[in-house]
Amino acid sequence: MEILRTENLKKYYEQGVSPVKAIDGVNISVAQGEFVTIVGTSGSGKSTLLNMLGGLDTPTEGKVYVDGKDIFGLNEEERTIFRRRKIGFVFQAFNLVPVLNVYENIVLPIQLDGNDVDEKFVNEIIDILGMTEKKSSMPNQLSGGQQQRVAIARALATKPSFILADEPTGNLDSKTSQDVLGLLKTTGAKFGQTIIMITHNEEIAQMADRIIHIEDGHVISKDGEKNE
């Protein structure tokens, strides 16, 4: 089942005489349960693409469908609500809310939605991620790896359509990176979660089921040709 699809997605920035084409006609599709990485160098447009996939940035042209719904057909408020129910985010800088403890951070999107927390489910995630002892701890007491695990748990807790991970190991050492990536993949597989991960690291990209290369705002094939 198709979870995510883009149609001729473009993002142009007006700068000087000619516009900067950050994303220039991208068409991708992600099926449910897939672990996809989007790889590109700095300035390739991968972050811009990720922002549009998550509904955080408006495209100049083109559409993004999540579970068959055109997310840019919604207004901002509707899109935010849609996002908290359908998309889980894992950021490079962890981005936990400093005034909430671990458990509160994890269930935050659920409680913002006004729903009851599936405690059994959440505790299972916490357990798998090895954070049971730290449920009452504040983010300032956690290491980088621990914070990223909490971020992963937060992304999983709402049972989203897919998880968007933007360079999730960018701020971690190599060993911790391995652990975190392993957990991401494991929990994804366990809960049948679709994961789309952005990275510049080809080695990390290899752990995915499918790799999408992006260069100068275009998706390119393995042999370097643009995929229309």
Q: Is 137 in the site for other proteins (CB under 8 A)?
A: yes
Q: How many residues bind other proteins (CB under 8 A)?
A: 34
User: How many other C-beta atoms can be found within 10 angstroms of the C-beta atom of residue 147?
Assistant: 23
Piece of the chain touching other proteins by CB under 8 A; list 39-47, 80-88, 187-195, 200-208:
80-88
The interaxial angle of helices 144-157 and 174-190, nearest 10 deg, is: 20
Site string for other proteins, 26-55 (x = CB under 8 A): ----------------------------x-
Q: Which lies closer to other proteins via its Cβ, residue 104 or residue 215?
A: 104
Piece of the chain touching other proteins by CB under 8 A; list 14-22, 34-42, 94-102, 173-181:
94-102
Looking up tokens 């990536």 gives: 181
Chain length of the chain: 228
Strand 87-90 and strand 162-166: pairing?
Answer: parallel
Q: Is 80 in the site for other proteins (CB under 8 A)?
A: yes
Q: Is 108 in the site for other proteins (CB under 8 A)?
A: yes
Please give the structure tokens belonging to residue 127.
Answer: 């357990």
Strand 2-13 and strand 35-39: pairing?
Answer: unpaired
Question: Among candidates 103, 104, 118, 64, which has minimal Cα distance to 87?
Answer: 64
Where do contacts with other proteins occur on this chain (CB under 8 A)? 54, 56, 76-77, 80-81, 83-85, 89, 91, 95, 97-101, 103-104, 107-109, 111-113, 135-141, 154, 158
